[in-house]
Chain A
């Protein structure tokens, strides 16, 4: 097989987040975390909020947080249709923590029976958690404190 690389593309309705050639990718699917290597069989799956970890062809890592979406794997191509997605480099931890705090407070309110959409709040918390996780992993990889 000559194809050693995967054309990887991650898009949200608002923009194309990342598009590059990679050599492997790890994703959080509904059936558990999977790693896709070149020449994978065609696969379609739903994704959970979490961290996508791709290895670029030059050996560098790319960490992307997603808040759910779909995955389509073709022989030499991986496409993620994400609801929202951010590259770890673009994220700012302190603001993420604040956002999560707000979401938790909202959840608390919801528990007390105030008028808040519980499912939406939960989704927001998961999204923020995924983002925080992505940033942490990114920092660990890059040895940034």
Chain B
């Protein structure tokens, strides 16, 4: 049996670990609240810009049946696929990173593409390359606090330019969707080309639980409310022209999508870490309990032994 001193040392060290994990849990909880707030704030912009793009695309298609902008044209089949993988910078957040990397690898393997490349945001994404041997096209640093769209602009520009240049036929983003504090779902969504018929695929516009109106319905409702006057249906005027407005608007939309994905991932990361740290704190508590028990046993055993020795000595003297 370990000596009582050894056990005491272990209790102390586990106690310290427990303090740290508890502190980390608190910190994550605070960060999570902030991250969730940010997610909700972006949502109204995402919804509004999406509905405008839908209207634009509809109006533009009416004229000659041609898609108005290269970002709206679907290329078949998708030969070259890129995937933006959003992970955390640090570990100690349970299965957060491994889940998203696994999901990303799974979905990219499903594509019958001749080339697939990863674009990483966050340090832990390196696992995709290390463990699965995928090509990494770019690695963007991720800040711990994200509060401006500016931070995703370089990544968005990169994929848009490469897409237009024909380096990729399809761009996807893998992120962790924040559902609630206990549930986060890794998801892969298509970023480019923008498919106006598949609104559900887009982030922040989706009508999931608390979210605002789901894409198409949102737009249809809007049309009914604001664009009709009796029998008469208004048509949009575009200044300077639909193509020019789309030219500016679509890259913005991509940026917002990416920003939203990043915010969702952030909220998920913090809540995953909070859960992991909560469990660690509990485990440390259990361990301290067990060790205290064996420490007491060891102490009692040594006292018993001592008494036995003393009484044996006294007996020997008495004889």
Assess whether B226 is in contact with A75, with CB atoms less than 8 Å apart.
yes
Assess whether B239 is in contact with A30, with CB atoms less than 8 Å apart.
yes
Determine whether A79 belongs to the interface, using a CB cutoff of 8 Å to chain B. Answer: yes
| Residues of chain B from 76 to 125 with CB closer than 8 A to chain A in the complex | none
In the complex, which of the residues A9, A44, A75 contacts B234, with contact meaning CB atoms closer than 8 Å?
A75
Determine whether B49 belongs to the interface, using a CB cutoff of 8 Å to chain A. Answer: yes
| 6 cross-chain CB contacts under 8 A | A11-B48, A14-B149, A41-B237, A42-B226, A46-B239, A79-B48
Q: Which residues of B contact A76 (CB under 8 A)?
A: 226
Determine whether B42 belongs to the interface, using a CB cutoff of 8 Å to chain A. Answer: yes
| Distance A76 CA – B226 CA, assembled complex (angstroms) | 7
Assess whether B245 is in contact with A46, with CB atoms less than 8 Å apart.
yes
| Distance A64 CA – B222 CA, assembled complex (angstroms) | 26
**Total chain B interface residues with beta-carbon distance under 8 A:** 33
If A14-B42, A14-B149, A75-B226 are given as contacts, then 13 extra A-B residue pairs at C-beta distance below 8 Å, sorted by A number, are A13-B42, A41-B237, A42-B226, A42-B227, A44-B237, A45-B238, A46-B240, A46-B244, A70-B249, A74-B227, A75-B227, A75-B234, A79-B48
The smallest C-beta distance from B3 to any residue of chain A, in angstroms, reads 59
| Distance A81 CA – B255 CA, assembled complex (angstroms) | 13
Residues of B within 8 A of A (CB): 38, 41-42, 44-45, 48-49, 52, 55-56, 147-149, 222, 226-227, 229, 234-240, 242, 244-245, 248-249, 252, 255-256, 259
The smallest C-beta distance from B212 to any residue of chain A, in angstroms, reads 12
Q: Which residues of A contact B240 (CB under 8 A)?
A: 30-31, 45-46
| Distance A76 CA – B147 CA, assembled complex (angstroms) | 32
In the complex, which of the residues A11, A43, A70, A79 contacts B248, with contact meaning CB atoms closer than 8 Å?
A70
Determine whether A16 belongs to the interface, using a CB cutoff of 8 Å to chain B. Answer: yes
The smallest C-beta distance from B1 to any residue of chain A, in angstroms, reads 61
Q: Mark A30-62, 1 if CB is under 8 A from B, else 0.
A: 110000000001111110000000000000000
Assess whether B235 is in contact with A42, with CB atoms less than 8 Å apart.
yes
Assess whether A72 is in contact with B42, with CB atoms less than 8 Å apart.
no
Residues of A within 8 A of B (CB): 9, 11-16, 29-31, 41-46, 70, 72, 74-77, 79, 81, 83
If over half of B's interface residues share one DSSP class (helix, strand or loop), that class is named, otherwise mixed; here it is helix
| Distance A118 CA – B147 CA, assembled complex (angstroms) | 24
Assess whether A14 is in contact with B44, with CB atoms less than 8 Å apart.
no
| Distance A13 CA – B147 CA, assembled complex (angstroms) | 9
| Distance A76 CA – B236 CA, assembled complex (angstroms) | 14
Q: Which residues of B contact A15 (CB under 8 A)?
A: 41
Assess whether B236 is in contact with A81, with CB atoms less than 8 Å apart.
no
Assess whether B52 is in contact with A75, with CB atoms less than 8 Å apart.
no
Assess whether B44 is in contact with A43, with CB atoms less than 8 Å apart.
no
| Distance A31 CA – B42 CA, assembled complex (angstroms) | 28
Q: Which residues of A contact B242 (CB under 8 A)?
A: 44
| Distance A10 CA – B165 CA, assembled complex (angstroms) | 34
The smallest C-beta distance from B244 to any residue of chain A, in angstroms, reads 7
Q: Which residue of A lies closest to B247 (CB)?
A: A46
Q: Which residues of A contact B55 (CB under 8 A)?
A: 44
Q: When A and B form their complex, which 10 residue pairs have the shortest distance between CB atoms, in order from nearest?
A: A74-B226, A45-B239, A13-B149, A42-B236, A43-B237, A31-B239, A11-B45, A42-B234, A13-B45, A75-B226
| Distance A75 CA – B237 CA, assembled complex (angstroms) | 12
The smallest C-beta distance from A28 to any residue of chain B, in angstroms, reads 12
Q: Which residue of A lies closest to B249 (CB)?
A: A70
| Distance A64 CA – B317 CA, assembled complex (angstroms) | 100
| Distance A74 CA – B48 CA, assembled complex (angstroms) | 13
Q: Which residues of B contact A77 (CB under 8 A)?
A: 226
| Distance A16 CA – B242 CA, assembled complex (angstroms) | 26
| Distance A12 CA – B42 CA, assembled complex (angstroms) | 8
Assess whether A72 is in contact with B229, with CB atoms less than 8 Å apart.
no
Q: Which residue of A lies closest to B46 (CB)?
A: A13
Instruction: Answer whether A70 and B49 are a contact pair too, CB < 8 Å, given A44-B56, A46-B248.
Output: yes
Q: Which residues of A contact B245 (CB under 8 A)?
A: 44-46, 70
Q: Which residues of B contact A74 (CB under 8 A)?
A: 222, 226-227
Q: Which residue of B lies closest to A72 (CB)?
A: B52
| Distance A75 CA – B249 CA, assembled complex (angstroms) | 22
